[in-house]
Structure 1
Amino acid sequence: MSQEERTRYSAEELQEFEQLILEKIKVAKDELSQLKESLSRKNDTGTDNTASTSKLLEDGADTSEKENLSQLAARQQKFLTNLENALIRIKNGTYGVCVDTGKLIPKERLRAVPHTMHSIEAKLAKNQ
């Protein structure tokens, strides 16, 4: 049976994707933890509150860096949520099926973007 005719991945194929996603979740959680740790260090102003021009410049740089870290942490949290949602789709049997076309998303795409719910054709069509 060709991939065009199939509407679902086999249990063995889903298990392969589940392992891939679990590994990505572990890495993503570690990275999120590091980002949060960096943010908490940036929020700790320390005890040296000397007022000077260089202190003001440092505060501006710190604020910018905090904003960047916050954005990275939010993006990482969203990625984690998407990966966890992919695990749910594996459990309920809808993983790997394009929500737009109803066709199987190619394995190569799922390996590259395991949390995707769209075939590349559907994604490209949306972006036009």
Structure 2
Amino acid sequence: MNTSARSDHLLLEIEGMKCGGCVHAVERRLTEQHGVSGVAVNLLTRTAAVSLDPHAPAEPRQLTAALQGIGFPARLRDQGQAMVESTSLNQGWWSRWRRLMAALVLMAVSGLAHLATAQQWTVPLLDS
């Protein structure tokens, strides 16, 4: 791999983590590797963000092999794929948010109409 094209961060997808002990074991194993300057493991996303030493960075194959050795199969996540997944999750969130707001507005209008009928209120827009 060309060192000029090398990134100073890697994102690894890790299988088999089920608890805080697993997270600690993965963090410890990655931190022990030559060329790693920092590690942040996320149990929910099953990923590890690895900061590499700029002077002597670790090879991704070395890191995945180290994790495989303790029973956690891992693979390098493509940064472009991570960005696409993040963008699609964000778009899905906004879509759900708009639907929720529309449902709340319709529920408020419906509730007012029912209250107006029960209390004999006059609501100009809802009065027939």
Range into which the TM-score falls when normalised by the shorter chain: 0.3 to 0.5
Q: TM-score, normalised by structure 2?
A: 0.33
Q: Which has the higher contact order (CA 8 A, sep 6+)?
A: 1
Q: TM-score, normalised by structure 1?
A: 0.33
Structure with larger Rg: 2
